[in-house]
Amino acid sequence: MDSPPQPPSQDPSPEEPVAVVRAPHEPILTLPTALTAYVVLLAVIHLRVLLPPELENWTIDVFGFIPKRYDASLANLQIPGGTGAKVWTFVTYSLLHANLTHLAFNVLWLLPFGSALARRFGAVRFFVFLAVTAAAGALAHLVTHEHAVVPMIGASASVSGAMAAAIRFAFVRGSFLSFSRSDADTAAKVPAQPLLQALRDKRIVGFLVVWFALNIIFGVGAIGVEGDSAGVAWEAHIGGFFAGLLLFALFDPVPRVRSDAADASSQDISSGI
């Protein structure tokens, strides 16, 4: 007897292609457009070193920050730039650098912290923040070097401000210095801790101690990037740092985390949960 016909098999043929979904790989370091533009600007401005020496020195005198410029007792002192330079040099000095080593040092420190900050703030807030922290650094330098005639240049005050602002959220769970880091955009936009709460975080306190110690050591030792005759303007660094730490909330568009939630997050991270 013939056996009845069997229904066709529903099993997929082994030859059928199978789609494989791969998890996207995030680059180790991706720079937001605002930070890239800032770094390019610094590099382009540094091409001034190709100018004849007289013209290069003129650009430093006009756009560098010279405390002596504000000395009322020296009204007849001829410093290039005139009255206008008393205003714009509070920011323009931060766009000038002594040499490639000076420029590279500041850019390397800015990349991780500035990247997170640019993603969080957006371009406009980011650029204004850099200008404000640069001005704060210049003010601190002016207060401590009111009769100095040597121009101060470099983005270190802005870099310090960016570092200070970034640590307000860097150690929060999911951010870029936490153990449970999210992708770059998410990590940059986690709610920040309130300032007083942040200053009770042992990791942030440790960061502050190391940062201040390094600045004081380098400043007192007069270890400069321009050679033996140059010193580190560590007072400007501290001015920019405090401005970034204290003014962060004025620029931050991300809603703040509540104190009780911040306490719970801190405890979870400390216990390894």
Number of structural domains, the chain? 1
Residues spanned by the domain of 261: 33-270
Report yes or no on 4 lying in a domain. Answer: no
Query: CA–CA separation, 135 vs 92, rounded Å?
Result: 9
- Model confidence over 159-177: pLDDT tens digits? 999 999 999 998 888 887 7
Kindly report the average pLDDT of the chain as a whole number.
80
What pLDDT was estimated at residue 51?
93
pTM over 0.85: no
Report yes or no on 8 lying in a domain. Answer: no
- Model confidence over 13-39: pLDDT tens digits? 555 554 444 434 444 457 899 999 999
**CATH number, position 98:** 1.20.1540.10
Report yes or no on 175 lying in a domain. Answer: yes
